[in-house]
């Protein structure tokens, strides 16, 4: 997953902002007891302290980050619960592994995502090691027009292969291959795997393909997916290529 770059204010500016926040966050009755001169003195004291002890600012930002992460995780859990049926049992999705498995993992991916390529062996390892795993794939083509084109071909391929046996070969070759994924490359892979190409090219522009991708994009937005790969295990959203061991831990926690 591509990291976000955060711009942090300079310590002096941040100190002033914190000082002001402390003053204006106080009850109205307390604010009224300070004169303008007293306010300036208090702000100066707080500012000097924070500049002398900048680690306090780091601690405060770390605490804020943690609080935001906890809030995001709780929001995701609520959204996952609200969208449970569509997320885990949509008629538009690809199900690999055991369709009647007791553990379900959902992955949102993009065929042009480098981290998704690195995470592909994780999915294969999990499917091979756990006969009770249902692995659901959701299209999340956010990395350009080529990704959207590849997703259209992939959904059309799924329409020909409801069991997923031929689809998984297509998925591995397209995601695991070199170079950018687009319509031409996805069609070449589909032909190599042995799909009915006339039917495939017809289905690519069908209402089913549009409905599938629209549904996946809305789901991703609802539960807070902001990068690929992202997984849903049980009621938890796991963002990024966290590795097979971490995914196994999440699965074990659901059993």
> For the domain that residue 234 is a member of, what is the CATH number?
3.40.30.10
Tens of pLDDT along 101-113? Answer: 999 999 999 999 9
The arithmetic mean of pLDDT across residues 216-231, rounded, is 93
The residue written with tokens 């409905």 in the block is 211
Full-model pTM: 0.74
Tens of pLDDT along 100-158? Answer: 999 999 999 999 999 999 999 999 999 999 999 999 999 999 999 999 999 999 999 99
Distance, CA of 69 to CA of 78 (rounded, Å): 14
Spatial CA neighbour of 217 closest among 209, 225, 207: 225
Q: 238 is written with which tokens? A: 């796991």
Residues of the domain holding 28? 11-77
Q: Which of 25, 54, 77 is the last residue of a domain?
A: 77
179: left (phi over 0), alpha (psi -120 to 50) or beta: left
How is the chain split among helix, strand and coil, in percent rounded to 5? 60, 10, 25
Longest dimension (CA), the chain: 81
8 Å CB contact between 140 and 110: yes
Same domain, 169 and 57: no
Give the alpha-carbon dihedral of 164, 172, 182, 155, to 10 degrees. 10
Q: Which of 77, 101, 130 is the last residue of a domain?
A: 77
Q: Which of 41, 57, 77 is the last residue of a domain?
A: 77
Same domain, 226 and 128: yes
Tens of pLDDT along 1-56? Answer: 543 333 344 444 454 455 555 544 455 454 457 788 888 888 888 788 777 877 77
**Total domains present in the chain:** 2
Q: 62 is written with which tokens? A: 């770390």
């Amino acid at each position: 997953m591509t990291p976000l770059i955060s711009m942090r204010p300079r310590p002096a500016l941040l100190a002033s902002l914190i000082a002001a926040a402390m003053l204006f966050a106080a009850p109205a009755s307390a604010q009224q007891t300070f004169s303008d001169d007293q306010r300036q003195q208090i702000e100066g004291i707080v500012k000097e302290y924070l500049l002398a002890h900048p680690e306090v600012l780091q601690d405060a930002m770390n605490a804020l980050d943690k609080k935001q992460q906890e809030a995001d995780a709780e929001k995701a859990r609520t959204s996952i619960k609200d969208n449970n049926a569509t997320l885990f049992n949509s008629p538009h999705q690809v199900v690999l592994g055991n369709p009647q498995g007791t553990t379900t993992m959902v992955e949102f991916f993009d065929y042009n995502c480098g981290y998704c390529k690195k995470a592909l062996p994780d999915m294969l390892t999990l499917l091979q090691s756990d006969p009770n795993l249902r692995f659901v794939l959701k299209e999340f083509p956010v990395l350009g027009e080529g990704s959207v084109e590849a997703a259209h071909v992939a959904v059309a391929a799924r329409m020909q292969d409801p069991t997923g046996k031929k689809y998984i070969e297509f998925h591995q070759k397209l995601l695991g291959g070199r170079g950018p994924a687009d319509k031409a490359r996805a069609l070449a892979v589909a032909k190599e795997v042995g799909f009915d190409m006339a039917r495939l090219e017809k289905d690519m522009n069908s209402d089913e393909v549009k409905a599938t991708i629209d549904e996946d994009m809305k789901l991703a937005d609802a539960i807070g997916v902001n990068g690929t790969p992202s997984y849903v295990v049980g009621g938890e959203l796991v963002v990024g290529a966290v590795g097979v061991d971490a995914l196994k831990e999440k699965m074990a926690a659901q059993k």
